[in-house]
Chains A and B, each alone.
Chain A
Amino acid sequence: MDNVIHILYFASFREQLGQAEERLPASYATVSELLAELAERGEYWKTVLLENQNLQIAVNHNVASRETSLKAGDEVAFFPPVTGG
């Protein structure tokens, strides 16, 4: 397996951050560590993800939290609260 994690951004996040997906080296122990790294990219990344109290997280299609641990091959998704139905 590739030594990477696959990251997906949905809905308003995708538009605000200007990308739908990316791959990063699998060097983060938790979602929190990944978020801290992404927040280094600038104010937008910090407010949309790291400081967003309504941030929704999924790891491998399961609802996750900032404490969820990460490993190589994982798919991490960030998105706003859902509005289907």
Chain B
Amino acid sequence: MILDSTLTPFIKIQQHDFDLTTEVLALRQGHKNIGAVVSFVGTVRDINEGDEVTVLELEHYPGMTEKALEKVRLEAHKRWSLEASLIIHRIGSLHPEDQIVLVVAASQHRENAFFAAQFIMDSLKTNAPFWKKETLPSGEVRWVDSRISDSEAQKRWKV
């Protein structure tokens, strides 16, 4: 049986775009002890593995993806005593220059926020069930392979 993962406003999986300024403002609201906010925005590149990419499709596993992201977020809170954090990941059909992912980590002092943002991104890359499929100008469609560099990046956190 699947237990409902606690719904949190701090994990969003959506087709539509996001606005960094709006999201950070909303997250900071009411937290007077926040002194540092680190944000990361991942965007669609027009080149992958040496080939031009025209469309990037993102798929996820509804239910499990949210749960995996919330687990990563809570682990970051535990390690770096964050005041607030947010993960937004887009799905569906994206194009070069589009935003894909937003991670925001907020803490009292900057060091924790910097570390936490990087930890969340590294963990998301290797733990959260998302898959990318890219279309080339020739019309060829292919699934993106996972990168060894991503799992190496994750290992430094010794999870």
| Pair B146/A81 contact, Cβ less than 8 Å | yes
* Contact bitstring A35-74, B, C-beta under 8 A = 1, else 0: 0000000000000000000001010110000000000011
- Majority secondary structure of chain A interface residues (helix, strand, loop or mixed): loop
Contact yes or no, B42 A61, CB < 8 A: no
- Among all A-B residue pairs, the 8 with the closest Cβ atoms: A84-B130, A81-B146, A11-B131, A61-B64, A85-B125, A12-B143, A83-B144, A83-B132
Contact indicator A84/B101 (Cβ below 8 Å): yes
Stretch from B16-24, B55-63, B77-85, B107-115 at the A interface: B55-63
Check if A85 sits within 8 Å of B2, measured CB to CB.
Answer: no
Interface footprint category on B: 20 to 34
In the complex, whether A8 has a CB less than 8 A from a CB of chain B is yes
B11-53 interface (Cβ within 8 A of A): 42
Q: How far is the CA of A9 from the CA of B137 in the complex (A)?
A: 28
Binding site for B on A (CB under 8 A): 1, 8, 10-12, 56, 58, 60-61, 73-75, 77, 79-85
> Given the complex, which residues of B lie within 8 Å of A77, measured CB to CB?
61, 64, 129
Q: By the criterion CB–CB under 8 Å, are A61 and B5 in contact?
A: yes
The answer for the CA separation of A1 and B58 in the assembled complex, in Å, is 33
